[in-house]
Amino acid sequence: MLQNPSVPYVAPFLTFIAMLAIQKYLSFLGDWEYALRVVIVAGAIWFFSRKKLDFKVHHFAASLAIGIATFVLWIAPDTIFPGWRQHWLFTNSIMGEVRVSLSAEQLSSPFLLVFRTISAALLVPIVEELFWRAWMLRWLVKNDFETLPIGSADRQSFLIVAVLFAVEHGPYWEVGLITGLVWNWWMTRTRSLGDLIFVHAVTNLVLSLYVIWTKKWQFWM
């Protein structure tokens, strides 16, 4: 099974999802739950994916700009239109509702906030870009996806990945959809995993710092 070419791209993502699924059973660990999650997901990335990773950024200025623009896009609707996220288009039985995933006690813990930020800014970009844009964009075109250059996509795979990326973000699906479309486009333009990891990391880091500074925890579902 480990010889399957999809494993390095998919396994870290599945590990990350599994950790989310069992987090309530790890609540006894307190603040250390996030630290454990970081260690386990980082271990999965190293074990399964280290040979596939590429952190070289070929278009630094443009990728930085796209990362910051995505952050602005993410917070803009709720900032400009108070109550935007409570509309039935976003909060419903299919997409769920905006809920703060951390308790008040956790939100007052610098230790936990540091590990939450590490997860968002360092691990999530690697896990998700391996899965969505390095793997699925190509795999939906051709099962033997490694015969295609990274960044390859057809119209169907481009749209499917964007839609699934949107669904992954629940009540933030509309900004998730636009983000998915833009990031898919940037992957097809740059053909660079490093650039997409960097874009994603910039967005998540700036969003994390914004959330901590403003205490608008709803952006940290």
Domain residue limits, the chain = 55-219
Provide the 3-class DSSP secondary structure of residue 92: strand
Euclidean distance between CA atoms 162 and 186, whole angstroms = 12
pTM of the model: 0.95
Euclidean distance between CA atoms 86 and 82, whole angstroms = 9
Residue whose C-alpha is closest to residue 114's, from 50, 25, 38: 38
Are the beta carbons of 149 and 158 closer than 8 angstroms? no
Euclidean distance between CA atoms 16 and 39, whole angstroms = 11
Compute the half-sphere exposure of residue 158: CA atoms within 13 Å on the CB side of its CA.
15
**Each residue's pLDDT tens digit in the chain (221 positions)?**
668 999 999 999 999 999 999 888 888 887 888 899 999 999 999 999 999 999 999 999 999 999 999 999 999 999 999 999 999 999 999 999 998 877 777 788 899 899 999 999 999 999 999 999 999 999 999 999 999 999 999 999 999 999 999 999 999 999 999 999 999 999 999 999 999 999 999 999 999 999 999 999 989 87
